[in-house]
Amino acid sequence: MQKSVAFYTLGCKLNFSETSTIGRSLSAEGYKKVDFHEGADVYVINTCSVTDNADKKCKKIVKEALRHNPNAFVTVIGCYAQLKPQEIANIEGVDLVLGAAEKFNISDYIGEAKKLETAIVKEGKIKEVLDYHASYSIGDRTRTFLKVQDGCDYFCSFCTIPLARGASRSDTIANVVKQAKEIVAQGTKEIVLTGVNTGDFGSGTTENFYQLLQALDEVEGLARLRISSIEPNLLTDEIIAFVANNSKCVVPHFHIPLQSGSDQLLKSMRRKYDTSLYRSRIEKIKTLMPQACIGVDVIIGYPGETDELFLETYNFLNQLDISYLHVFTYSERVNTTAQKLPGKVPMKTRNERSKMLHILSDKKRRFFYEQQLHKKFPVLWEAENDQDIMYGFTSNYVKVQTHYDPSLVNEIMEVQLEHITDDMLVKVKQLSLV
């Protein structure tokens, strides 16, 4: 009898690309992929461990899986599984825990997929995880997440990712282009490049991220190429100029981690830039692409973040011509340098600062949207039908809505931005299919 498998992914776009690839490998082994709520024989939970909240959510998802099928064989993979395998093995209902390398050979470990009294743990030392496993998502949403790089050599003081994913390593340009052609052949019009440190693509080889963008730009039939996130020290002038002046499909949308607007804290975090370099990247983008969307990651409540240093960050962000913020509240992580630092910020203060930056983000997004009103942009419509409303994104990442029309799904249409709703969406006037 054919066994069914369901997936749940926590965390980043990289995890989504790997979940999708693992799903295809299990389908090739004869498993039937079903929705999470359908009571699958096997559940695979791909975890994140960027914050404590992600760890706690894993336990909740395991419980939910067993609610749908108490006899399900539950496998946990991902960053949390590599960092704290025994902790996961002790969660009631977990049968199998796979580390960073082992997850790509999941079918070797599932066996008969029968419930176990004691969880099996298979995880190697992260220093021995050297292989690169190509991955991309397909069929789950209109856009495809294409993994081009894994691991990180930066060892920022607050981050466990190098311990969870190992050293920086990349695919080759030739193989990424081959995958992109496969993706386009299946009808995908937008590819989002993803990795742990995406801009570090090609590190240690003769290839680099700029060359990768140039090669992907030539893939026939690819309408849009989006960079998920790139470190400011790796976002070079030639990359910015290429997107602005020469690229056929790389969209004017950049997500650039900042983490702090205080040079003192950036140094403590072991970041590889200062606020001067960061500001210069923003100014360069906006000079060449005034309509470009720029998102920013920022951490609040890092050890030693006094009121004065937080205000440095707030004022720095307030002055920058950026479009939105992703605000992360610092959480202590085992085996990180930051965990041992003095100057712990009370949780109440962290929450207050987080709220301030979320309000600032809303103001920045609204101002950016207002600047785009009454202009024309191409929109890629997505498949979701939300009470007869469908959504899409402009090339520069303005989220828009219109009445649901199934014929528009996965189509690119030129629209004129008309009105910002209370939910920070933009109503549009439809013009024509591109």
pLDDT digits (tens, 9 = 90+) for 341-389: 999 999 999 999 999 999 999 999 999 999 999 999 999 999 989 999 9
Q: Residue 399: beta bridge partners?
A: 393
Residue 112 binned pLDDT confidence (cut-offs 50, 70, 90)? confident
In a domain, 134, yes or no: no
CATH number of the domain at 188, please: 3.80.30.20
Same domain, 293 and 426: no
Let me know if residue 136 belongs to a domain.
Answer: no
**pLDDT value for 403:** 94
pLDDT higher than threshold 90 for residue 55:
no
Assigned domain for 348 exists = yes
Q: Give a yes or no: residue 133 inside a domain.
A: no
Task: Compute the Cα dihedral for 196, 13, 92, 24 and give only its sign.
Answer: negative
Inside any domain, residue 326: yes
Q: Kindly state the average pLDDT of the residues 230-257.
A: 98
Domain shared by 118 and 42, yes or no = yes
Q: Which pLDDT band holds residue 284 (cuts at 50, 70, 90)?
A: very high
Comparing CA positions, the residue from 34, 110, 49 lying closest to residue 74 is 110
User: Does 54 share its domain with 159?
Assistant: no
Same domain, 233 and 293: yes
For the chain, the average pLDDT equals 95
Tell me: pLDDT of 272 over 70.
Answer: yes
Q: pLDDT tens digit string along 184-211?
A: 999 999 999 999 999 999 999 999 999 9
Instruction: Identify residue 37 by its one-letter amino acid code.
Output: H
In a domain, 135, yes or no: no
Q: Where are the alpha helices (DSSP H) in 208-274?
A: 209-216, 237-241, 263-269
**pLDDT for 51:** 63
- What 3-state DSSP class applies to 94? strand
Report the CATH number that the domain containing residue 101 is assigned in CATH.
3.40.50.12160
Confidence grade of residue 124 (pLDDT, cut at 50, 70, 90)? confident
Q: Which domain holds residue 307?
A: 144-369
346 and 239 within one domain: yes
253-255 and 169-170: which strand pairing? Answer: unpaired
- Residue 406 confidence (pLDDT): 94
Which residues, other chains included, contact 103 with Cβ-Cβ below 8 Å and sequence gap of 6+? 18, 22, 46, 77, 78, 81
Secondary structure of residue 192 in the 3-state scheme? strand
Give the span between the Cα atoms of 310 and 306, in whole angstroms: 6
In-domain check, residue 30? yes
The rounded percent of the chain whose pLDDT value lies above 70 is: 98
Tally of domains in the chain: 3
81 and 196 housed in the same domain: no
In this prediction, residue 57 has a pLDDT band, given cuts at 50, 70 and 90, of: confident
Find, among 336, 256, 341, the residue nearest to 302 by Cα: 341
Asked if the structure places residue 76 within a domain, the reply is yes
pTM score of the predicted model: 0.93
